[in-house]
């Protein structure tokens, strides 16, 4: 057998198909976590009501989260955090995220810089991750990053919400977007 024989390989497109994708709300997980000594002591989950992912020359990501859907690993804390002294879900039912800059590399690694709008406050966040799965009909996006604490301490709200807001909040997102 000749050691210099060449294999015929079909061309493979590394980048995903360009175009718009919509989020599948049942295939979406956003987990905020507060860590102490790198250990997540407080975890939560938020549901997504709408979202889109655009791939191509000008990629972008937009998500709309339901503030009242927060679930935590501490009994009773979700109600406290979504009530009037926390996220005020009755008056501000949506948490919005939109990308201001997004890049997708040939190895499917993704970097997203965007803004989160919570309670009429806008904060910038940087997320990094990858396109975990890509086919003709769907894209699975996995991202993680850290929302730094605000520069100024919160002056109103429940003391629990103030303590949580003073810590960096680690974000992890896994979502399936379909055509």
pTM: 0.79
| pLDDT above 60: residue 11 | no
Lowest-pLDDT range of 13-27, 134-148, 150-164: 150-164
Check whether domain 19-178 has CATH 3.40.50.300, yes or no: no
Dist CA 86 CA 80 (whole Å):
7
SS3 168: coil
| pLDDT above 50: residue 20 | yes
Percent of the chain with pLDDT over 90: 36
Lowest-pLDDT range of 58-72, 124-138, 156-170: 156-170
Dist CA 60 CA 19 (whole Å):
10
Q: pLDDT: is 168 or 127 the higher one?
A: 127
What residues does each domain of the chain span? 19-178
- Cα-flanking dihedrals φ and ψ of residue 37, to 5°? 55, 45
Average pLDDT, whole number, for the chain?
Answer: 82
Dist CA 121 CA 91 (whole Å):
14
Percent of the chain with pLDDT over 70: 76
Task: Dump pLDDT digits (tens) for 91-120.
Answer: 778 889 999 999 999 889 999 999 998 877
């Amino acid at each position: 057998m000749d050691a210099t024989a060449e294999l015929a390989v079909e061309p493979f497109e590394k980048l995903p198909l360009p175009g718009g994708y919509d989020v599948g709300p049942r295939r979406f997980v956003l987990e905020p976590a507060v860590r102490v000594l790198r250990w997540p002591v407080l975890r939560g989950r938020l549901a997504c009501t709408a979202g889109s992912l655009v791939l191509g020359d000008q990629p972008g990501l937009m998500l709309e989260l339901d503030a009242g859907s927060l679930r935590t690993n501490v009994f009773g804390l979700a109600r406290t955090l979504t009530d009037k002294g926390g996220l005020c879900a009755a008056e501000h039912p949506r948490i919005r995220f939109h990308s201001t800059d997004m890049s997708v590399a040939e190895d499917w690694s993704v970097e997203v810089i965007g803004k989160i709008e919570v309670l009429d406050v806008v904060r910038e966040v940087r997320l990094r991750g990858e396109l975990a799965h890509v086919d003709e009909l769907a894209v699975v996006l996995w991202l993680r990053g850290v929302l730094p604490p605000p520069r100024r301490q919160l002056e109103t709200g429940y003391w629990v919400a103030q303590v949580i807001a003073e810590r960096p909040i680690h974000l992890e997102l896994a979502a399936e977007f379909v055509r």
